Amino acid sequence: MRGEIPREVTPTARAVGVIPCPDYIELWCNVVRQASARALRDLPAPPAPSLMPALSSLIATEPPEEATVACGSAPAVLHHSATPAIRELRPSLHQMEEAFGQPFSIIDTESGETVYAAGGSLPVDIDQRLALLDEVARRARPEIVEDEAPLCLLAIPLAGVVDYAQLVAVATFVTMPVAEEADIASAARVLGVDAGRALRWARDRRPHCPQILLRLAEATHERLAQRRTIARLSAEASEAVAHARDTYVELDLLHCMMRRLHVADSEAELWQETLRSLGEAIPAEALALVAASDGEPVDVMVHGHNPLTDGKLIELIRDLQPRKGHHALALNRRETSLATWRTPVVRELASVPVVNGDTIMAWLVAINHRGSADGLGEFGTVEVQLLESIASILSIHASNSRLFRSQAELFGSSVHALTSAIDAKDRYTSGHSDRVARLSVRLAEHMGMSQREINTLYVGGLLHDIGKIGIDDQVLNKPGRLTSDEFEHIKLHPQFGCQILKGISQLEKVLPIVMHHHEAWNGGGYPHNLKGSDTPLAARIVAVADAFDAMTSDRPYRPGMPLHKVDEIFLDGAGSQWDPDIIDAFFAVRDDFMQCVEGSAGTCSDLPLDPAAWIA
């Protein structure tokens, strides 16, 4: 059954796109915080009913059970329980806004009403797209429901993220730069919004590729659903500890594991640590994790004294599998004392599968209760439930690890896609960004920089010229020397590059490289005329690598310079154009630079992008 959602924004407010004023709301909330229940009726009225969700989120203290305030011509009632869906959604909304750098509104696809109207968003005609949004909610898969350049409407279902399966988060994105009203008029008409308003909203927004938006939406939706499952398991574990604090202290293990989990952890190390921790919580002589391949037991990891060889344990699990399938199993003396039991050294056994979807990844197995020598110990509900909880955590960790790898691949693909876009824009410098990145890394290695700094340099080298996307094609590809005006236009590409990348939080570290790789040691560079060490070290390194590749590459108006000429220019420019220490480093690794330019294998050969260092 789909949940019933309290209405927080009226259809009128949705139609006209009422946007709350944050300062006014905060002022109103401060009054509410200090008012008594009796005095609430005398409070000043908020500007529109659409403010109610924002007001509820800003009032930190417990409000009265019911507060009536004047709102326009009719009273509005603000209940303490008026916003359960939004309260439940707020962390997910925040994470979506962080991932996309843009707010989302929430639509109830059953009623067609806007449950939550995001401030700063572009209000579009939702009524015409309710059928599409309802289909998105039903399929529980993100979709681009409208793609009319330069705008697109992204819909992310919230099924699996909250209990209200009919809710869909929607946001409008810009897909290409917008300069004039004519650029956006057609898309605004399709989306049912005033073209002038759409232009004002879109002008300063960073363009997004619809395909990358959709892939990011899919990854974000899956990650939020997984986080909700983890939160549910953590809550269940907390409740179990609260109810059995004095009797079952071993349940603290669940919390310890949750704190230690990290998607970049080695799976083998996590499993070994899990067995060690279980050994402190479960009174078993041995705890084992039997790994599976295609549903068959193949390998064993043991903590404690195992009375069976690895092969015998694999054989036992294989024999028991048809009996228990995907379910937990507990065997004690009543079963193991029978003549049909073929493994007498195993007196008690508890086994739980670690399941990912329909696939068994492994089995967690407890063997022989430590109190069973005198016939008093056996495995029961407590031990089995603890094993099941740990198995669920391991399963979720495996899913999160796959999602982490998927996001890492998406990040790497996005960076390389941007690099390819630069090469496509400037056909005469194809491969330049990749060579500059590798040359920069070689200089950094020689200068003893850390791996973290080298990772930043590599990505900064790949993206240092991303701003050329905003440069006029005729100027960028002009087969001859530039006029002074054209050169001034070219000099804008560092600022353009920072504007393109500044909304991507993972790439904030490379912005100084993008902005300052054309500064000069003597202050004669651009865009800010920085002198000496005022220019970040990474940007100074990229400046040398960039100059080397530019001088040695063929251009339409000249062939690549011979190496001896490049050497002369660097020697003359050391201390004026370039940092003299970096020029010294260049001559120390000069042969490696030539390997980079020639594309031959060696210490400066192609380097892998390490996305894990950027999204972990």
CATH of the domain at 352: 3.30.450.40
Whether residues 307 and 385 fall in one domain: yes
Instruction: Please say if the pLDDT value at position 243 is more than 60.
Output: no
Residue 407 lies in a domain: no
Instruction: Please say if the pLDDT value at position 609 is more than 70.
Output: no
- Structure confidence at residue 467 (pLDDT): 92
Q: What is the pLDDT of residues 156-191, one digit of tens each?
A: 999 888 888 889 999 999 999 998 999 999 999 999
Q: How far apart are the C-alpha atoms of 341 and 328, rounded to whole Å?
A: 19
The residue whose two tokens read 């078993």 is 284
By C-alpha distance, which of 16, 1, 6 is closest to 111? 6
Residue 412 lies in a domain: no
Q: What is the pLDDT of residues 502-542, one digit of tens each?
A: 888 888 999 999 999 999 999 999 999 999 999 999 999 99
Whether residues 393 and 373 fall in one domain: yes
Which of these ranges, 11-15, 125-129, 280-284, 373-377, has the smallest mean pLDDT?
A: 11-15
Region 88-113 average pLDDT? 86
Which of these ranges, 182-196, 553-567, 568-582, 592-606, has the smallest mean pLDDT?
A: 592-606
Could you list the residue range(s) of the whole structural domain that residue 242 is in? Answer: 89-247
Q: What is the pLDDT of residues 212-232, one digit of tens each?
A: 999 999 999 998 888 888 888
Whether residues 548 and 538 fall in one domain: yes
Instruction: Please say if the pLDDT value at position 428 is more than 50.
Output: yes
- Which token pair is 175? 């897909």
pLDDT band at 37 (very low <50, low <70, confident <90, very high): very low
Region 67-83 average pLDDT? 31
Write the DSSP string, 154-198. EEEE-BTTBS-TTEEEEEEEE-S---SHHHHHHHHHHHTS-HHHH
Q: How far apart are the C-alpha atoms of 285 and 274, rounded to whole Å?
A: 15
**Long-range residue pairs from 63-67, CB within 8 A, at least 24 positions apart, any chain:** 63/32, 64/37, 64/40, 65/37, 67/32, 67/37, 67/40, 67/41
Which of these ranges, 29-33, 91-95, 122-126, has the smallest mean pLDDT?
A: 29-33
Whether residues 237 and 383 fall in one domain: no
CATH code for the domain in which residue 457 is found:
1.10.3210.10
Domain-terminating residue out of 209, 229, 247: 247
- Structure confidence at residue 571 (pLDDT): 94
Region 117-135 average pLDDT? 87
Residue 156 lies in a domain: yes
Whether residues 447 and 559 fall in one domain: yes
pLDDT band at 409 (very low <50, low <70, confident <90, very high): confident
CA–CA distances in Å: residue 273 to residues 351, 378, 398, 615: 18, 24, 15, 24
- Structure confidence at residue 6 (pLDDT): 38
Average pLDDT score, the chain:
78
Domain-terminating residue out of 66, 82, 98: 82
Single-letter amino acid, residue 390: I
Q: What is the pLDDT of residues 391-406, one digit of tens each?
A: 888 888 777 777 777 7
- Structure confidence at residue 204 (pLDDT): 83
By C-alpha distance, which of 287, 345, 284, 353 is closest to 318? 353
- Which token pair is 143? 């979709």
Domain count, the chain: 4
Q: How far apart are the C-alpha atoms of 340 and 2, rounded to whole Å?
A: 50
pLDDT band at 254 (very low <50, low <70, confident <90, very high): low
Whether residues 256 and 239 fall in one domain: no
- Structure confidence at residue 186 (pLDDT): 93
- Structure confidence at residue 8 (pLDDT): 38
- Structure confidence at residue 308 (pLDDT): 92
Whether residues 561 and 601 fall in one domain: yes
- Structure confidence at residue 607 (pLDDT): 52
pLDDT band at 5 (very low <50, low <70, confident <90, very high): very low
Instruction: Please say if the pLDDT value at position 323 is more than 80.
Output: no
Instruction: Please say if the pLDDT value at position 558 is more than 80.
Output: no
CA–CA distances in Å: residue 570 to residues 399, 433, 514, 538: 52, 20, 22, 18
Cis geometry, peptide bond prior to residue 150 (ω within 30 degrees of 0): yes
- Structure confidence at residue 377 (pLDDT): 80
- Structure confidence at residue 175 (pLDDT): 93
Instruction: Please say if the pLDDT value at position 610 is more than 90.
Output: no
- Structure confidence at residue 56 (pLDDT): 43
